[in-house]
C-alpha cells in the first residue's frame, strides 16, 4: 500500500465514543505483507478533513483509554480483560492479567495525577511479536503515591477483524 493510501485509511478510522470496546471503524484497504510496522501519518501531508478525523479519533481513543485506566484504578481489572481483544486473551489469561496489573499497581500506590494522553498508531505485519493488525496506543505520564517520578501508563487498542477497537494491552513503565 502506498503512503497516501495508508494515510487515507488511517484518516477514515473515525470512531464513535464508547467504553473500551469502540464501535466499528471504516474498513481499511488491504495491504501487502511487506508493509512497514510504523503507521504514524505526517500531519502536514493530510487534508484538513483528514486532520479533523484523526483529531476526533485521538479524542475518542483517549477517552476510551481513560475509562480503562479508571477501571484499573477501581480494581476492576477483570472487566478490562473481559472486554479485550481476542489477541490479548490468547496472549494472557484473565487471572494472570489481573495478578500482574494488581502487583504493579499495588507497588505504585494510588494515582495522584495523569497527564494529557498522547496517541500513536502502529501497523504490524505477520511474523512480528504482536498479532498482525492496526493498533492505537494511548500513553499518559501518571504520578502515583509511592513513586516520585511519573510512570508511563499505556493502554493499547487493536482494530479487530469485526472492525471494532478493543483493548489489546495495559502496562506501566
CA-closest candidate to residue 80, choices 167, 172, 16, 18: 167
- The per-residue pLDDT for range 102-159, each reduced to its tens digit, is 999 999 999 999 999 999 999 998 877 788 899 999 999 999 999 999 999 999 999 9
**Phi, psi for 141 (deg, rounded to 5):** -80, 110
In a domain, 34, yes or no: no
Residue 19 to residue 15: CA distance in whole angstroms: 11
In a domain, 100, yes or no: yes
* Beta bridge partners of residue 135, listed in sequence order: 122, 158
**Phi, psi for 24 (deg, rounded to 5):** -55, 145
Total number of domains in the chain: 1
Domain region containing 52 = 47-172
In a domain, 26, yes or no: no
**What CATH number has the domain bearing residue 83?**
3.10.450.100
In a domain, 36, yes or no: no
- The per-residue pLDDT for range 34-48, each reduced to its tens digit, is 344 444 557 678 899
In a domain, 9, yes or no: no
CA-closest candidate to residue 134, choices 144, 146, 118, 123: 123
Residue 97 to residue 80: CA distance in whole angstroms: 9
Amino acid at each position: 500500500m502506498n503512503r497516501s493510501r495508508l494515510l487515507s485509511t488511517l484518516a477514515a478510522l473515525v470512531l464513535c465514543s464508547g467504553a473500551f470496546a469502540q464501535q466499528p471503524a471504516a474498513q481499511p484497504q488491504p495491504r501487502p505483507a511487506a508493509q512497514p510496522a510504523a503507521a504514524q501519518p505526517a500531519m502536514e501531508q493530510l487534508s484538513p478533513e483528514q486532520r479533523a478525523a484523526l483529531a476526533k479519533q485521538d479524542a475518542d481513543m483517549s477517552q476510551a483509554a481513560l475509562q480503562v485506566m479508571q477501571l484499573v484504578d477501581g480494581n476492576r481489572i477483570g472487566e478490562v480483560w473481559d472486554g479485550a481483544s481476542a489477541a490479548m486473551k490468547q496472549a494472557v489469561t484473565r487471572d494472570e492479567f489481573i495478578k500482574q496489573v494488581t502487583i504493579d499497581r499495588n507497588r505504585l500506590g494510588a494515582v495522584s495525577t495523569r497527564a494529557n494522553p498522547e496517541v500513536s498508531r502502529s501497523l504490524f505485519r505477520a511474523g512480528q511479536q504482536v498479532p498482525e493488525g492496526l493498533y492505537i496506543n494511548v500513553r499518559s505520564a501518571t504520578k502515583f503515591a509511592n513513586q516520585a517520578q511519573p510512570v508511563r501508563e499505556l493502554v493499547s487498542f487493536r482494530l479487530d477483524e469485526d472492525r471494532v477497537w478493543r483493548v489489546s494491552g495495559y502496562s506501566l513503565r
